[in-house]
Structure 1
């Protein structure tokens, strides 16, 4: 790691009782894979996060995945799991869901069914029903430009007709969610306020993680880490304080934060 990274790691470790660590899952803790259902965190990620959670004021995985998906792959005890960009949150065994999204369940079910039917002719598209959101994945599609051109108006129309939120776009994925104004940055800001954090490290690999980068503005110490790939959004790289080359390199950074927090 570069000297500037070492300095930031030591500084955050020195204030661990007043600092938080917020990590994305896909592309950060877990390599991107063609089949989203087969995504797995890199070996030892769950253990490292638990060690961090015993030393830092707050440690959270903030993802577009459902909390149930994250729990099966990380087996957390003290780590917060925040799913669907802030709609779901699990701390310990307690699961909290934003009350205003409950009414959207039926609309989400209909949207998933309609998307599967209307996009069935596009080979390789995968429609993922996430409980309180629906994602349309394009990673297994050969002609991605043509597939996106075909799918975007369909996804936008179905979202509009079902009264759901506008479509968000990530790395080869389109997502429909309930009509609530919440993103990953809102999650980070809430935890910062709740825990009275003075410092934080945030990690992400996609445009959906940019709100977390902005959420730590104004802290005594803010460290923004981008996990790079061939698909990295330029805006994310530009906003980062440090860039790592993938989930394995990120693990090295997180392990160094464990060591830095030792008395």
Structure 2
């Protein structure tokens, strides 16, 4: 991508213009899986696109903050992303578990509150529930520390397995004070009040962001989109970017700009970094 694309909405165009005019006040928020890293059948094999770290390292010094906001534990996202010890990323923040845990590149430390007790209770009951539900081979549990995710992507019929588990998992979550968040062939059980919108708003307010950009690919990114829409109503410009997926049409419909998956996100970040560097005062 040699030139920056033009957002399809007036609000998006205003957000991009504000970012280019005052980059030092801008917050760049990014999902990890499906946005910086391609979606893979086994989430433990997910790794950032090869161009992600160079693009982020070029962009981060030009803006107020770059924040990766993910449902993963922050140390996992840091390891899979290759973010630690990279020159230029000293001010990168990873808000893991939807903001419940925070990793700062400057210190390499993770800060976190105590976990919700309902997660341990669900962890104990979940295997038996899946067996009773006849989830079948290919459906499996991902341990996320402060949350648990049930994946159906490797099942014989991923969509049928996904739909059959929605109700029993919702019942289980409710009994233990948790919620269920659906995604791309995954159902995540986690405490309420943990979402990417809350994390993005809290971080934007903490740094006094004058413009907020967010890129995501899945239903779990909709709260972050809503957060930017809320900021816009209060006069803070913003830009919504969808890392294109045919699986989540709703996100693309809400976005100001749709790019071609993680490769498109990396291209966009690189083009943005190049333009900001070329226009910076010498």
Deviations 1:184-243 (A, max 9, x none): 011111111111111121101111111111212324421110111220232x11211111
Q: What is the match of residue 242 of structure 2?
A: 226
Secondary structure at the aligned position of 2:149 is classed as strand
The count of corresponding residues between Structure 1 and Structure 2 is 259
Q: Write out aligned runs for 1:1-263 (5 A).
A: 4-5=6-7, 9=16, 11-76=18-83, 77-92=90-105, 93-99=108-114, 101-104=115-118, 106-115=120-129, 117-118=131-132, 122-161=136-175, 163-178=176-191, 180-216=192-228, 217-218=231-232, 219-234=235-250, 236-262=251-277, 263=280
- CA drift at 1:9: 4.8
Check 1:89–1:113 CA distance in 2 against 1; reply closer, same or farther (3 A cut): farther
RMSD: 2.3
Check 1:121–1:182 CA distance in 2 against 1; reply closer, same or farther (3 A cut): closer
Deviations 1:13-44 (A, max 9, x none): 33111001000111111111111111111103
- CA drift at 1:102: 4.7
What is the CA–CA distance in structure 1 between the aligned matches of 2:125 and 2:92, rounded to whole Å? 32
Secondary structure at the aligned position of 1:4 is classed as coil
What is the CA–CA distance in structure 1 between the aligned matches of 2:273 and 2:116, rounded to whole Å? 38
What is the CA–CA distance in structure 2 between the aligned matches of 1:105 and 1:144, rounded to whole Å? 25
What is the CA–CA distance in structure 2 between the aligned matches of 1:250 and 1:149, rounded to whole Å? 30
Check 1:154–1:105 CA distance in 2 against 1; reply closer, same or farther (3 A cut): closer
What is the CA–CA distance in structure 2 between the aligned matches of 1:138 and 1:80, rounded to whole Å? 30
What is the CA–CA distance in structure 1 between the aligned matches of 2:160 and 2:225, rounded to whole Å? 32
Moved more, 191-200 or 109-118: 109-118
Q: Structure 2: 5+ residue runs without aligned partners? A: 84-89
Check 1:109–1:251 CA distance in 2 against 1; reply closer, same or farther (3 A cut): same
What is the CA–CA distance in structure 1 between the aligned matches of 2:36 and 2:5, rounded to whole Å? 23
- CA drift at 1:150: 3.1
Q: TM-score, normalised by structure 2?
A: 0.83
Moved more, 101-110 or 135-144: 101-110
What is the CA–CA distance in structure 2 between the aligned matches of 1:3 and 1:67, rounded to whole Å? 31
The answer on whether the counterparts of 1:112 and 1:134 sit within 8 Å (CA) in structure 2 is no
What is the CA–CA distance in structure 2 between the aligned matches of 1:52 and 1:141, rounded to whole Å? 39
- CA drift at 1:60: 0.5
Check 1:55–1:127 CA distance in 2 against 1; reply closer, same or farther (3 A cut): same
What is the CA–CA distance in structure 1 between the aligned matches of 2:177 and 2:55, rounded to whole Å? 37
The answer on whether the counterparts of 2:60 and 2:91 sit within 8 Å (CA) in structure 1 is yes
